[in-house]
């Protein structure tokens, strides 16, 4: 099954003419999951054809306004579009009140249930054939990264199954029972199947590079990581608890990820050239995302 990822907003703390506030959409079998929801996220969703009613959950990395303010308008638009399904919003435990204030500040009538959940490390959400896990990051306030992980899939060894005489409805029966009789032989499910690892997407912002990210991102298909600064600004990155492009590339290399996408770009950078050069020098399969950057895996 294909997973579509759209980087809706790629700016750091302040927007620019070309970069809007942070948000990432992951779309899987019709489900839309939002990771962060900066100001104007719903406008970017319109730009890229994402129906707000299809959003199953919002995963907030931390309670700074540049990552949360878009929730206020989005939940109201969902109501105007006759949403009835409950919406779950995840935020670091202890900061639930920040999200609650965004929902209730103007006493709008929202005709569906909103459930705000405090996040700690581990599995925080399960959908059909996927789950979302949280892991700790290192910023100025409590912050979490998220892993979208497709569940493992059982695949048949087709040629072997065919040689053993399996056909038609036998496959479904074997999956249900674990073993079946085929002629004079008994065939066990484990004989003719293998487990395919699910695809994995990791989102980490705002943060210093951390060992927890390396663990979470191990062998990931896609790592989306903040890169607020270039290599020559590493002092600022350390002071403000953010990351430089070179540091993130080194992390991606250690984690053996397949692709690195840099986002949360500081407004001080007029072009992507230096950030991209810093990253590619260490990890060749790196991209500096622009708003709307889309990847299907």
Report the catalytic residues: 66
> Contact, 260 vs 225, CB < 8 A?
yes
Walk across the sheet containing 122-127 and list its strands. 122-127, 130-136, 144-150, 200-204, 222-226, 260-263, 286-288
Residue by residue, what is the 3-state secondary structure of 33-79? EEECCCCCHHHHHHHCCCCHHHEEEEECCCCCHHHCCHHHHHHHHHH
291: CB partners within 8 A, 6+ apart: 7, 8, 9, 10, 18, 19, 20, 44
Q: What is the DSSP string of 123-156?
A: EEEEETTEEEEEEE--SSS--EEEEEEEPPEEEE
**Tokens standing for 172?**
């479904």
Question: Which of 196, 120, 191 lies closest to 160, judged by CA?
Answer: 191
Cα–Cα–Cα angle for 278, 280, 285, rounded to 5 degrees: 145
Helix (H, G, I), strand (E, B) or coil at 224: strand
> Contact, 62 vs 206, CB < 8 A?
yes
């Amino acid at each position: 099954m294909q997973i579509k990822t759209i980087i809706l907003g790629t700016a750091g703390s302040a927007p620019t003419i070309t970069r809007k506030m942070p948000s990432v959409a992951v779309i899987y079998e019709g489900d839309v999951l939002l990771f962060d929801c900066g100001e104007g996220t719903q406008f970017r969703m319109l730009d890229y054809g994402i129906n707000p009613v299809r959003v199953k959950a919002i995963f907030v990395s931390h309670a700074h306004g540049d990552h949360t303010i878009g929730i206020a308008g989005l939940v109201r638009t969902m109501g105007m579009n006759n949403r009835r399904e409950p919406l779950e919003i995840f935020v670091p435990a202890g900061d639930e009140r920040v999200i609650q204030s965004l929902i209730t500040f103007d006493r709008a009538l929202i005709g569906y249930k909103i459930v705000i959940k405090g996040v700690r490390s581990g599995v925080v959400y399960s959908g059909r054939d996927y789950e979302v896990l949280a892991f700790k990051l290192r910023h100025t306030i409590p912050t979490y990264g998220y892993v979208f992980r497709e569940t493992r899939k059982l695949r048949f060894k087709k040629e072997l199954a065919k040689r053993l005489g399996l056909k038609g409805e036998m496959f479904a029966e074997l999956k249900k029972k674990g073993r079946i009789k085929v002629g004079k032989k008994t065939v066990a499910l484990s004989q003719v199947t293998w487990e395919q690892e699910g695809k994995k997407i990791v989102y980490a912002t705002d943060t210093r590079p951390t060992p927890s990210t390396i663990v979470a991102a191990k062998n990931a298909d896609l790592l989306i990581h903040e890169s607020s600064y270039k290599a020559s600004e590493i002092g600022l990155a350390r002071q403000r608890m953010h990351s430089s492009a070179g540091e993130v590339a080194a992390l991606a290399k250690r984690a053996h990820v397949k692709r690195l996408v840099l986002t949360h770009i500081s407004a001080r950078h007029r072009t992507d050239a230096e950030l991209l050069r810093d990253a590619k020098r260490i990890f060749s399969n790196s991209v500096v995302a622009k708003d709307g950057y889309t990847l299907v895996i």
